[in-house]
Amino acid sequence: MQLGWHALAIALAAGSHYGTASGAKASAVHNLSDKAFDAWSDAQELALVKFFAPWCGYCQAMAPSYEQAAVALKKDGIPLAEVDCTKEAKLCEELDIPGYPTLKVV
C-alpha cells in the first residue's frame, strides 16, 4: 500500500483538472451521507475521506487535486470519498471534524 500513498501525494500535489469537453464531469470521489458513512467505511480495507464545506476556499482549491488522486488510487483499490459537513453536520460533529478541509484515513 505504500505505492498507493505515494500516488496520493503526487496526485494531490499536481492539482490537475478532470472533466469533459462540455465541462460536465463524472467524479471518482464517493459522496457519503450520514446514513451511508459507516457501512461504506467498514467495507473498505483502506480509504481516505475528505470532510469539507462548499463555501470553504481551501476545500474548493483542493477539489481538483482530490479528484485526480481518486482517479489514480482507484487503480490500486483505494477509494476516496467526501462528506459535505454543511449537509451532514451531525456526522461531522460525531467525528470531531475541527475545520475544513479535514482528511481522515478509514
Which residues are catalytically annotated? 56, 59
Backbone phi, psi, residue 16, to 5°: -75, 155
Instruction: Taking the CA atoms of 46, 33, 73 and 15 in sequence, report the sign of the dihedral they define.
Output: negative
d(CA 44, CA 55): 29
Distance of alpha carbon 87 from the chain centroid? 15
